[in-house]
Amino acid sequence: MSSIILYFSRAGENYVSGAIRNLAKGNTEIAAEMIQKLTGADLFKIEPSVEYSYHYNECIEEARQDQKRDARPELAAYPQQLEGYDEIYLGYPNYWGTMPMPVFTLLDKMDFTGKTVRPFCTHEGSGMGRSLQDIKRLCKGAVVEEGLAICGAKVQTAETDIRKWLNKK
């Protein structure tokens, strides 16, 4: 079974443990790299053509506006193809109760028929929100498995939880 990790992550100012902190690497990227280490899956970072602001408060307002408009921001690149992959790990931070809109863009453009999608989400208290329902709606023809919600503040020590989730297959 061939696997790929598709993930959206944002460095810069982030909300962590009740305060705004500057992160050199986003929490979801850290989790994605742990999954890659444990599975050997390929890795693809979902990046919008126009990045969200570095500043946390501006970023969350931009993300809120995108969601309000049901926007599909253009991406800087797309995976070449998903045909060779049976299993897709889909990672993202919880933005306003679901995935960031660039993830919606990717899910709208790709064919997930016959794939197994394993979502993982970083958050600071809101869990996966309604993202699983959104993924099931957008990934028609895919089997969407139980997701893993990882507290962003604890991502550095999440390898045990990630390993348990990976072994639930």
Residue-averaged pLDDT of the chain: 96
pLDDT of 50 > 90? The answer is yes
Helices (H), 16-130: 27-39, 56-68, 101-109
- Domains in the chain: ranges and CATH: 3-166 (3.40.50.360)
Among residues 80, 126, 73, 77, the alpha carbon closest in space to that of 103 is found at 73
**Tens-digit pLDDT profile for residues 116-148:** 999 999 999 999 999 999 999 999 999 999 999
Q: Which helix (H) or strand (E) holds 163?
A: helix 159-166
- What percent of the chain has pLDDT above 90? 93
- 122: helix, coil or strand? strand
Look up the pTM and report it: 0.96
Contact 31, 45 (CB under 8 A): no
